[in-house]
Amino acid sequence: MHRQLLAIALNTFLESVRQPIYFVLLMAGGLMQAMNTLLSAYSMSYDKSAEVTGDNKLLLDMGLATVFVIASLLAAFVATAVLSREIQDKTVLTVISKPVCRPIFILGKYIGTTAAVLLATVILLIFLQFAIRHQVMTTARDKIDAPVIVFSLSAVLLAIGIGVWGNFFYGWVFSSVATYAMAPLLVFAWLLTMLIGDDWRLQNYLTDWKPQVVLAGVCILLAMPVLTAIALAASTRLGQVMTIVICAAFFLLGLLSNHLLGRNAFSNHPLAGIREVVALEDPDGDFSDAGDLWRLTLDQPPKRSIGVGDRLYFGPSPNGLGIIDSSMDPFTGDPSKQTDLDSSDAPKAIVIQSDENRALDQFVLVNSGSLELRRPPEPGDFVFLEPTHTNIPAMVAWGVTPNLQFFWLVDAVTQAHTIPARYVGLMSLYSLAQVTGILALAVILFQKRDVG
């Protein structure tokens, strides 16, 4: 079974890379990255705190979008070529008629297709790295980064030359040979470029190293197995045109799922955001002991009237998603009396003890009944008067739909928000879960498919 899976995957990978559209889209992606350095000359910001600033923010946005769109098109074209076309041409019978079970066939096709799409995405991301290093050409007077031009063009032209030479003398498939040669050559050219400045002098490798941009690219890589699985599942029943339509629909739905589905899955009405928090009386700083006092300073006056004794909820999202604690009891005592806060029958809640500085949008919160919190409030959190309401159907639809917005981290990079390694790990698990579910659907769709 393992040998069958490996044979199908390897054959699918070779077949995918040999397709002329594969090399055409790769070259189109490289050309578009070069054009982006000219087309993105519209100043977005002069903030110097992020890895990319000014016009280069738009360059990163356009560059990653180019990678995302072209890789998604590749996934659709390659998946239909290796499965849908084989079903239409009846060539799939040569494999199914042998002792190869259909789930192994689908899994092998998926592994080979994904490997080909990931190879193309890596090449496209290296083109993006060259564009980011070169930066935007705002005017004709801007200096051209000669090492970027020389090394990148040399790698591409040498790969094309190897492909032409192999095709002419040995009959090798040009597109696949050129692609195999281009991948290592571009990596080597990028490493050389990082070591040489635009004045052709040696520099520290970390001078132009942008780890946050690299992590944003890694997250795009993690999205590709999901899109490839969608394309393969669609191609088990549909032709090339409809598979591309389905992929485009899921691509747009995945980018808009937060707006279309996520905002309806969890609903709450924030009073305001938290600008500052200060622990007044809390020795251990966890805000989980009866009588712990914290002062909140809001970023604006509360949108609704609140007063002493009201329960207050808080969380990181304005729609109430991830609210810190929604299981608070109604509070009926006096929040200024310690006996009403730590008695055996004291309600477990976070309540307002004082609003004396209402003019400054400051409120003092007290813990009643030793309510244990995952964490105390933080600047940037939102405060609420009610627990978050959950719309089960919308939440299920939002959870099932592949959310491509999770993989799109351009805003985090351009706004100087650090991408933690933990987030990349969570995205890996999310991608794995989505791929598992979609491949299970693909196996179900193909199990009873008539291929005779």
Instruction: Choose the final residue of a domain: 338, 354, 387.
Output: 387
Compute the distance between CA of residue 33 and CA of residue 70 in angstroms, rounded to an integer: 11
Q: Are residues 214 and 283 in the same domain?
A: no
Q: Are residues 124 and 248 in the same domain?
A: yes
Compute the distance between CA of residue 316 and CA of residue 163 in angstroms, rounded to an integer: 53
Instruction: Determine, yes or no, domain membership for 171.
Output: yes
Residue 41 sits at φ, ψ, to 5 deg, of: -85, 60
- CA angle at residue 349 from 344 to 306, to 5 degrees? 135
Q: Which amino acid is it at 304?
A: R
Tens-digit pLDDT profile for residues 281-335: 888 888 888 888 898 888 888 888 888 888 889 988 888 888 887 788 888 888 8
Instruction: Determine, yes or no, domain membership for 393.
Output: no
Tell me, what's the pLDDT at 323?
86
Tell me, what's the pLDDT at 124?
95
Token pair 């699985």 is found at 229
Residues 6+ apart with CB under 8 A from 305: none
Q: Are residues 404 and 427 in the same domain?
A: yes
Q: Are residues 66 and 100 in the same domain?
A: yes
Q: Are residues 261 and 277 in the same domain?
A: no
Q: Which amino acid is it at 101?
A: C
Instruction: Determine, yes or no, domain membership for 183.
Output: yes
Compute the distance between CA of residue 257 and CA of residue 47 in angstroms, rounded to an integer: 30
Instruction: Choose the final residue of a domain: 340, 360, 387.
Output: 387
Q: Is the pLDDT of residue 452 over 80?
A: no
Q: Is the pLDDT of residue 267 over 90?
A: no
DSSP 31-94: HHHHHHHHHT-S------SSSS-THHHHHHHHHHHHHHHHHHHHHHHHHIIIIIHHHHHTTTHH
| pLDDT tier at 45, thresholds 50, 70, 90 | low
Contact 368, 340 (CB under 8 A): yes
Strand ranges (E), 248-343: 266-267, 272-281, 293-298, 313-315
Instruction: Determine, yes or no, domain membership for 288.
Output: yes
Q: How many domains does the chain have?
A: 2
Mean pLDDT computed over 438-450: 85
Tens-digit pLDDT profile for residues 178-211: 999 999 999 999 999 999 988 888 888 888 888 9
Sheet of strand 382-384, all strands in order from the earlier edge strand to the far edge? 313-315, 382-384, 272-281, 293-298, 362-368, 349-354
Residue 170 to residues 18, 174, 177, 214, 235, Cα–Cα distance (Å):
15, 10, 11, 38, 34
Mean pLDDT computed over 398-423: 88
Tens-digit pLDDT profile for residues 352-393: 888 766 666 888 888 888 888 888 888 989 999 888 888 888
Instruction: Determine, yes or no, domain membership for 394.
Output: no
Q: Are residues 106 and 241 in the same domain?
A: yes
Q: Is the pLDDT of residue 44 over 70?
A: no
Compute the distance between CA of residue 36 and CA of residue 325 in angstroms, rounded to an integer: 46
Q: Are residues 413 and 348 in the same domain?
A: no
Q: How many CB atoms lie within 10 A of CB 338?
A: 13
Q: What is the mean pLDDT of the chain?
A: 86
Instruction: Determine, yes or no, domain membership for 295.
Output: yes
126 sits in which H/E element = helix 102-134
Instruction: Determine, yes or no, domain membership for 366.
Output: yes
Question: What is the CB-side half-sphere exposure of residue 341 using CA atoms within 13 A?
Answer: 22
Q: Are residues 61 and 155 in the same domain?
A: yes
Q: What is the CA radius of gyration of the chain?
A: 28
Facing residues of 202 across strands? Answer: 196
Mean pLDDT computed over 161-166: 94
Compute the distance between CA of residue 313 and CA of residue 270 in angstroms, rounded to an integer: 9
Instruction: Choose the final residue of a domain: 387, 417, 439.
Output: 387
Compute the distance between CA of residue 368 and CA of residue 347 in angstroms, rounded to an integer: 6
Q: Are residues 132 and 255 in the same domain?
A: yes
Q: What residues make up the domain containing 51?
A: 2-265+399-447
Query: Residues, the chain, total?
Result: 452
Tell me, what's the pLDDT at 95?
67
Residue 350 to residues 121, 340, 361, 384, 387, Cα–Cα distance (Å):
49, 13, 18, 11, 12
| pLDDT tier at 43, thresholds 50, 70, 90 | low
SS3 385: coil
Tell me, what's the pLDDT at 418?
85
Token pair 């609704």 is found at 304
The residue among 54, 26, 50 whose CA lies nearest residue 40 is 54
Compute the distance between CA of residue 56 and CA of residue 10 in angstroms, rounded to an integer: 39
Work out the end-to-end distance of the chain between its first and last CA atoms, rounded to an integer number of angstroms: 23
Tell me, what's the pLDDT at 135?
85
Q: Are residues 362 and 407 in the same domain?
A: no
Q: Are residues 177 and 254 in the same domain?
A: yes
Contact 338, 281 (CB under 8 A): no
Q: Is the pTM above the cut of 0.95?
A: no
Instruction: Determine, yes or no, domain membership for 392.
Output: no
| pLDDT tier at 79, thresholds 50, 70, 90 | confident
414's tokens? 């351009």
261's tokens? 């589905």
Tell me, what's the pLDDT at 23?
92
- CA angle at residue 356 from 352 to 361, to 5 degrees? 80
Q: Are residues 279 and 253 in the same domain?
A: no
364 sits in which H/E element = strand 362-368
Q: Is the pLDDT of residue 244 over 90?
A: no
